[in-house]
Amino acid sequence: MLPGTEKISQESQTPRTNLLGKRESELVQFFADIGEKPFRARQVLKWMHQRNASQFEDMTDLSKSLRDQLDAIAAVTLPTVISEQQSHDGTVKWLFESGAGQAVETVFIPEPDRGTLCISSQVGCALDCSFCATGAQGFNRNLQVDEIVGQVTHANRQLPARSNGKPAVSNVVFMGMGEPLANYRNVLPVLELLSSDYAYGLSRRRITVSTSGIVPNIDKLADDCNVALAVSLHAPNDALRDVLVPINKMHPIADLLDACWRYAEKRANRFITFEYVMLRDVNDTLAHADELASLLAGKPAKVNLIPFNPFTGNQHKRSAGGTIRKFQERLQQRGLVATTRRTRGDDIDAACGQLAGKVRDKVKVRLSEKGRKTARH
């Protein structure tokens, strides 16, 4: 266990206003309501997100009377940690409590030149992609702003700083549990905090939202906070994508790609990453590679192949190493930038798509409660 975990896991929920998930404009309003100047917002943001303070008494550039007042009406509450696991490759996975016996997962992946935190945005996911452990668990609820940004706060407080003295987390990817663009209301303030100089100060290139393709919200994101975008494509035609990624029936590939190119245009044509999970005998032939290359030809696109990570109860199999290599080479021959994601943390079930946390599927819970009621009457 890394130092300090016990202390933070003991922090408990209080009815006071939690300032952790408040963005600058909301804190300005909060301080205005108690007769304080707007600059208090920036002071408190820095204390919470850069100087690791949870207690107002530690915020020494606030007056004693303000600190006492804040103590009475507000708090800085991080999500409660249920467990922490470390993989032999240095990957760390935390399980955070998310109410009603449920949990979400966060994974830290250390690399020589960066520290990437993979965060969750929902308790489960309603979109039910055929190869995803989170999807198989069903959906319960959206995470709140403090529950999402708190994953980053916690990681930075627990992990040693980088060799350049900067916090451990240099990059954030929304590739944990849930579909971030289905929780847009709460994800957008998190993006603002991650990129704010008074909070995490990350360049937008170091923040990646991964989506299965909720087209209207891709357009919104382009206008609101154009961070890096990754799109879970996984199939080069609608017939196959309808089966693997069911949201495709609502937003088919042509519409999705149009939104992607509009997005890229607003980001000075920075590349969009297309994620493509390699499923044996399903989407991994050279004909699929050719079809994919034709879809993306001449566009600001790169392809990231993800070897499928198996989990109990799922029938898919991972494509063979040679198949993945040939698929990647074919894309490269066709002029695309294509890489294969290295599987990290699979010994602690922290690899892509293995994150299942603990979710009470709302529909299933309702149905089983109905069943119980029917049985009683």
Q: Where are the alpha helices (DSSP H) in 209-339?
A: 215-224, 238-244, 253-266, 286-296, 321-333
Can you tell me which of 56, 94, 131, 184 binds ligand SAH, judged by CB under 6 A? 131
Can you tell me which of 115, 124, 353, 357 binds ligand SAH, judged by CB under 6 A? 353
Q: Which does 153 bind (CB under 5 to 8 A by kind): ligand SF4, ligand SAH, none?
A: none
Residue 151 in contact with ligand SAH, rule: CB under 6 A: no
CA dist 126 → 76, 79, 122, 310, 360 (Å): 30, 23, 9, 20, 12
Residue pair 152/200 in contact (Cβ under 8 Å)? The answer is yes
Q: Choose between 36 and 179: whose C-beta lies nearer to ligand SF4.
A: 179
Distance, C-alpha 304 to centroid of its chain: 17
The answer to whether 105 is a known catalytic residue is: yes
Can you tell me which of 140, 211, 283, 328 binds ligand SAH, judged by CB under 6 A? 211
**What is d(CA 117, CA 121) in angstroms, rounded to the nearest whole number?**
13
Per-residue x/- mask for ligand SF4, residues 179 to 198, rule CB under 6 A? x-------------------
Per-residue x/- mask for ligand SAH, residues 262 to 281, rule CB under 6 A? -------------x-x----
- Restricted to residues 120-139, the positions that interact with ligand SF4 (CB under 6 A) are 125, 127-129, 132, 134-135
Q: Which does 170 bind (CB under 5 to 8 A by kind): ligand SF4, ligand SAH, none?
A: none
Q: Minimum CB separation from ligand SF4 for residue 277, in Å?
A: 8
Residue 233 in contact with ligand SAH, rule: CB under 6 A: no
- For CA atoms 156, 81, 173, 207, the dihedral sign is negative
Write the single-letter amino acid at 51.
R
Total residues binding ligand SAH (CB under 6 A): 17
Q: Minimum CB separation from ligand SAH for residue 230, in Å?
A: 7
End-to-end CA distance of the chain: 50
**Tokens at 131, concatenated:** 């190869």
**What is d(CA 131, CA 331) in angstroms, rounded to the nearest whole number?**
23
Dihedrals φ, ψ of 290, to 5°? -65, -40
**Tokens at 244, concatenated:** 């693997």
Angle, alpha carbons 280-282-286 (nearest 5°): 85
Q: Minimum CB separation from ligand SAH for residue 250, in Å?
A: 14
Of 97, 105, 179, 275, catalytic: 105
Where does this chain bind ligand SAH (CB under 6 A)? 129, 131-133, 175, 179, 210-212, 232, 275, 277, 306, 308-309, 352-353
Where does this chain bind ligand SF4 (CB under 6 A)? 125, 127-129, 132, 134-135, 178-179, 212, 232
